[in-house]
Amino acid sequence: QKEVEQDPGPLSVPEGAIVSLNCTYSNSAFQYFMWYRQYSRKGPELLMYTYSSGNKEDGRFTAQVDKSSKYISLFIRDSQPSDSATYLCAMSADNTGKLIFGQGTTLQVKP
């Protein structure tokens, strides 16, 4: 069993839809949770970072962490074609250690 599980998709939605992306994990020591966006042949860029459980909102993006269920989510409201990319969840047990990534979910937002 992988430490972090993420459905690779692809996920295709119409423009304006609400997108829900999810990851599950098995290591209860994880405390730092991140979502990265990666465009084709580019390095990942940090979208959201959450420490421990709870919600965090930044513009159209909302990240949720449920440590009791070992489940994290990223919601994208009013999705745009420019949101089409691969979204990777990542997590670590401390804020200076290595990140464990999910496989990434490919999202396509159709105009």
Partner 1 sequence: GAVVSQHPSRVICKSGTSVKIECRSLDFQATTMFWYRQFPKQSLMLMATSNEGSKATYEQGVEKDKFLINHASLTLSTLTVTSAHPEDSSFYICSALTRQGYGYTFGSGTRLTVV
Sites of contact with partner 1 (CB under 8 A)? 6, 8, 32, 34, 36, 41-46, 49, 88, 95-96, 98-104, 106
Contacts of 59 (CB under 8 A, 6+ apart): none
Cis amide prior to 81 (ω within 30 degrees): no
Q: Going by DSSP bridges, is the β-strand pair 54-58/61-66 parallel, antiparallel, or unpaired?
A: antiparallel
> Which residue's CB is nearer to partner 1, number 5 or number 75?
5
Minimum distance between the CB of residue 41 and partner 1, rounded to whole angstroms?
Answer: 6
Minimum distance between the CB of residue 39 and partner 1, rounded to whole angstroms?
Answer: 10
> Which residue's CB is nearer to partner 1, number 44 or number 74?
44
> Which residue's CB is nearer to partner 1, number 38 or number 73?
38
> Are the C-beta atoms of 44 and 36 separated by less than 8 Å?
yes
